[in-house]
Copies of this chain bind each other. A is one copy, B any other.
Amino acid sequence: MKDVSAVNSELVALAGKVKGASRRVRLASAQQKNDALGYMAEGLEHTIDEILTANADDVARARGEGMPSGQVDRLALTESRVKEMAAQVLEVAALADPVGQVTRGYRLPNGLAVSRERVPLGVVGIIYENRPNVTSDAAALCLKSGNAAFLRGSSAAFSSNRAIASVLSEALVKAGLPRDAVALVPDASRESAVAFMRLRGYVDCLIPRGGRSLIAAIEEHATVPYIIDGEGNCHIFVDASANLDAAEKIVRNAKVQRPSVCNAVETVLVHRDVAGEFLARMDTFLAEVEIRGDETTCAAIPRAIAATDEDWATEYLDLKLAVRVVDDLEQAVDHISRYGTGHSEAILTNDYANASRFTREVDAAAVLVNASTRFVDGNQLGLGAEIGISTQKLHARGPMGLEALTTERYVIEGSGQVRG
């Protein structure tokens, strides 16, 4: 309790309500949760006008305060975006309920029947930035996995988030579930974010969705358990035996298809034996991409800019790519272990031993052979919608679906056993 003594008593009061609500949704049947999700989708469709009106206020205020247009884009909703939010809620409803899944069961020599069972975490806190769709996406994933969603969006999106959260709460009530199983922090100040991170005893898991400064604030201030959805400085190593036609498609896909996401490639490492041909091809197939290269790369691609140490460490999230020629697999692995962020790392090769060695030695949430890093995503990997991609090792690593929002407990059934 000490952790929250200094914080806003209103926030603590709300946290208490959310915790109370979590005790009820924890026990809700899959049917009841799906009913609520159905009402949520319906509610979003029916209140598009109200949501867009609230959003227009946010957008006008943001523009007035000089928010950069890229950020305004992420904040702005349209009729079709709200419809997509509703569709996304229905997709979550269609996923299997992880709660109650028995992951292991066995009988001990003394006759005790032991099982491990998935149960909800309790209260999942989400701190996020401008996208109002996170409000419904995150709430749906939390509810489906039996958790209460405690949401702390940005102040810029406050009116939008409030309109959306109110629809979601109404849907809960309609399904016989507590309104506070989805709750939005009413104060979006920086102080409230720090207070939120310190709601130990109320928030069972905090998932930040934001940039470096948010992550740094959480590492510094959080007293609640959290999962970091961090940077993806992803690499592709084009080995000497790679099929260069396939490599061309994969590197292009990984860089260009959607450069702003964490599973896009940021550095390509090219084996010296194929550097002559592959660098020449890159110059062409990555014509729209700015290349930051080592000496060999700059010699082969005249438009390339000399890479600095910072380039190797940078997640560009843009049409920029660092390129380095390496002598062998070992040098590639060393480069990755020095600069990688443990997200997604790929080798393109036809050499069996090299594929084995790369997958074994590279320490990342996902290692890939002969495939685009863009596949490292909950939907692509068959988990359904994802709440984020963990770059930490505890609890969840890589794309997090519904299972990451549960924990496992032991159920032990006996007939009077005592310990000898």
Seen from chain A, the residues whose Cβ lies within 8 Å of a Cβ on chain B are 2-3, 23, 26-27, 106, 108, 112, 114, 119, 121-122, 200, 204-205, 216, 219-220, 223, 225, 227, 243, 246, 249-250, 252-254, 257, 337, 355, 359-361, 363-372, 374-376, 380-382, 392-395, 397-399, 407-419
Separation of A376 and B412 alpha carbons in the complex (Å): 9
Separation of A418 and B252 alpha carbons in the complex (Å): 9
Separation of A359 and B361 alpha carbons in the complex (Å): 43
Q: Is the CB of B219 within 8 A of A200?
A: yes
Q: Is the CB of A410 within 8 A of B372?
A: no
User: How many copies of this protein are present in the complex?
Assistant: 2
Q: Is the CB of B246 within 8 A of A416?
A: yes
Name the B residues within 8 Å of A418 (CB-CB): 249-250, 252-254, 257, 371-372, 374
**Residue of A355, A364, A412 most packed against chain B (CB within 10 A):** A412
Instruction: Give 18 A-B contacts (CB < 8 Å), ordered by A residue.
Output: A2-B216, A3-B220, A23-B337, A26-B363, A108-B380, A108-B382, A112-B371, A121-B393, A205-B393, A220-B223, A227-B394, A246-B416, A254-B418, A365-B409, A365-B410, A369-B412, A375-B412, A398-B410
Given contacts A205-B394, A380-B419, A412 and B374 within 8 Å (CB-CB): no
Give A238 Cβ to nearest chain B Cβ, in Å.
Answer: 13
Q: Is the CB of B369 within 8 A of A413?
A: yes
Name the B residues within 8 Å of A414 (CB-CB): 368-371, 375
Separation of A27 and B243 alpha carbons in the complex (Å): 28
Separation of A328 and B223 alpha carbons in the complex (Å): 36
Name the B residues within 8 Å of A257 (CB-CB): 418-419
Q: Is the CB of B371 within 8 A of A417?
A: yes
Q: Is the CB of B108 within 8 A of A409?
A: no
Separation of A380 and B382 alpha carbons in the complex (Å): 36
Checking B106, B337, B395 against A395 with a beta-carbon cut-off of 8 angstroms, the contacting residue is B395
Separation of A183 and B281 alpha carbons in the complex (Å): 49
Checking B200, B225, B337, B369 against A393 with a beta-carbon cut-off of 8 angstroms, the contacting residue is B225
Q: Is the CB of A367 within 8 A of B219?
A: no
Q: Is the CB of B417 within 8 A of A372?
A: yes
Q: Is the CB of A249 within 8 A of B368?
A: no
Separation of A363 and B146 alpha carbons in the complex (Å): 13
Name the B residues within 8 Å of A204 (CB-CB): 393-394
Name the B residues within 8 Å of A395 (CB-CB): 394-395
Chain B: CB-nearest residue to A368: B412
Name the B residues within 8 Å of A364 (CB-CB): 409
Q: Is the CB of B419 within 8 A of A374?
A: yes
Q: Is the CB of A27 within 8 A of B361?
A: yes
Name the B residues within 8 Å of A227 (CB-CB): 394
Checking B220, B411, B419 against A372 with a beta-carbon cut-off of 8 angstroms, the contacting residue is B419
Give A388 Cβ to nearest chain B Cβ, in Å.
Answer: 14
Give A350 Cβ to nearest chain B Cβ, in Å.
Answer: 10
Checking B225, B398, B410 against A409 with a beta-carbon cut-off of 8 angstroms, the contacting residue is B398
